[in-house]
Amino acid sequence: MKLIHYFILLLFLIATPVFGQEEEEEEDIVEIVSKVVRTVEPSFRMIETPKIIDTTIPVKTIEYPLLNLKKENIIKVDPILPANIKLSENKLSKLYNGYVRLGIGSPLMPLGELFYNNNRSKKNIYGIELNYLNSLTNLEKTAPSKFDRTYLNAYVGAIQTKHSVRADIFYKNYGLNRYGSTYVKARPDSISQRYKNLGGKIQFNSTKKDSLKLNYDLSLQFNNYKDQANAYTTGDWNGNENNLTSINTFSYNFGREQFAIELNYLRNQFSYGDAGKKLIIDSAYAITNNIVTIKPSITTFAFNNRLKAQVGVDLSASSDSTANYFVYPIAEIKYALYDNLFIPYVGVKGGLKRNTFQSLSTENPFIGSNPTLLNESTPYNIYLGMRGILSKNIEFNGSANFAEIRNRALFIRDTNAVHANNNQFSVVYDTIQQLKIEAALSYHLVDKVNIDFIARFFNYQTKNQAYAWNLPVYQFTLRGNYAIKEKFVLGLDFHGEGGRKTRVFDVLESEGEKNKQLYKELGFILDANVSLEYRYTKRLSAFVWLNNVAAQQYFRWYKYPVQAFQVMGGLTFKF
């Protein structure tokens, strides 16, 4: 096969020039004759033989001279001007040692207040406070209703590097009439009452800056409280009470924990009338009550102090006619959210509270001179809520709690035949389960506007009484003040409450019956007060108070109406 291939290739090579030499067809021939002389230059040929040149081409050496980087330093001193410190916004305000308020009201009611203390000091404090108010006119369509109040408090103290001490002495004299009498023309001396309170307090506490040291706060208070003898008796037939109160708290910080213990001792000795004696219309009454309380607790902080948790126990013992022992829980958790903008909290607590002649007559000054005294016990009070900041100027707090209160003091009209005027109250005790819901909102603009709104709702479940006598079902308070161009200060104070009921014993007075007990609605309370202060100078100002502008003669206690409308004006002076 290869031979055949070679043969075909040979024939192809021979045939190619044959076809290339085919006879061409005749064409027309044109001759051009010219006289141009064409010369051909002789050829030139190099006679040198080529050779390879292998020679290094010299490179010029480049020199770089050293640069002079040294610069001349020129020092120029500028003068320092003295600093100007402006304290107009943050400087401490000037304090005055004394403050006086003098006023007169209509109906005729003189007012006097005096405050005097030392100026700013890091070593000692002292001062005195004196208040006086006297109503010289009577309410319309009631028995004589004049009253007067006098209060005096003086204190002195010393502040040291590691501790401080303070001592107070106080005196209070409160005179009034039980004008809720059914007899409008009753003699003033037959319905008069006067409470006197004389006592002192000393307090000693640590001021150590080192939190690793033991800190303490110790206080001891003693006071004698009594009222005047009844109009129908002589001698010592009046209420007389001696109170001793010692509250002592110790705390120690260790790491994130704070260990604390509270040791309290309360003694109350009350007597009415001559011991061992008995009148035809009355009998003597005496009781001594001692309460000892120990409250150990531990508080811990976590998550950069955002979480605060406390746990402890309240161990209390009391002795009056019998000895009793109580154990109450102490637990609380708080957690700060969003840089303390919102702080939810939940907890449970309880405690033992002593009811004294002083505490009961402060709540209701129209009680009798020989009330029954029992300790109030709260086995549990469960609460939860949240407080926080809505803006730079707005704060809020909302909470709810449910508690059981044993021996809650309630007031009803005294029907004892001795008190024929029916113008005083006696005390009854009951177990109450109480639900309380509270909401508060505050707006504060420094030195300009301050507004607070508080609303509360209550629900009571009583054990023996038909209702929780005289206790409100709902309350609200709106108060605030507004400064106008640093010359005028306008103040508003509105308070309202409703849902109160009182027990009555006459079917003609009653509005209903429950559990065989007659009751009467006390009506809605709306107490609106307006005040205006004009600051003539930083030391001298004038004021006007408009009290109960709604002119509502509501009953704070049954048969005891308040002043319908009252105006008071006066001056204040700093010295």
Q: What is the rounded distance in angstroms from the CA atom of residue 365 to the CA atom of residue 294?
A: 33
pLDDT for the residue numbered 564: 87
Residue 23 pLDDT exceeds 50: no
What single string gives the DSSP state of each residue in 523-564? Answer: --EEEEEEEEEEESSSSEEEEEEEE-TT----EEETTEEPPS
Q: Are 467 and 501 in contact (CB under 8 A)?
A: yes
Please name the amino acid found at residue 348. V
CA torsion, ordered 33, 37, 38, 41, to nearest 10 deg: 170
Q: Which of 78-87, 426-435, 551-560 has the largest mean confidence?
A: 426-435
What value does the mean pLDDT take over residues 372-389? Answer: 96
Tell me the chain's radius of gyration from C-alpha atoms.
50
| Helix spans in 366-429 (H) | none
- DSSP class of 558: T
13-to-5, 59, 64, 311, 494 alpha-carbon distances in Å: 13, 61, 74, 120, 132
Which one is predicted more confidently, 203 or 276?
A: 203
Q: Domains of the chain, with CATH numbers?
A: 101-574 (2.40.170.20)
Q: Is the pLDDT of residue 200 over 90?
A: yes
Contact 516, 507 (CB under 8 A): no
For residue 367, what is the DSSP state?
B
pLDDT tens digits for range 245-290: 999 999 999 889 999 999 999 999 999 887 666 665 667 888 999 9
Rounded distance between C-alpha atoms, residue 181 and residue 250, angstroms: 51
Q: Which of 277, 197, 196, 270 is nearest to 233 (CA)?
A: 277
Question: Taking a C-beta distance cutoff of 8 angstroms, is the pair 498, 471 a contact?
Answer: no
Residues pairing with 367 in the sheet: 425
Q: Which candidate, 360, 356, 152, places its Cα nearest to that of 242?
A: 356
How does pLDDT run across 460-487, given as a tens digit for each residue?
999 999 999 999 999 999 999 999 888 9
Indicate whether this model's pTM tops 0.85: no
Residue whose token pair is 């409280």 = 225
Residue with tokens 């001021």: 207
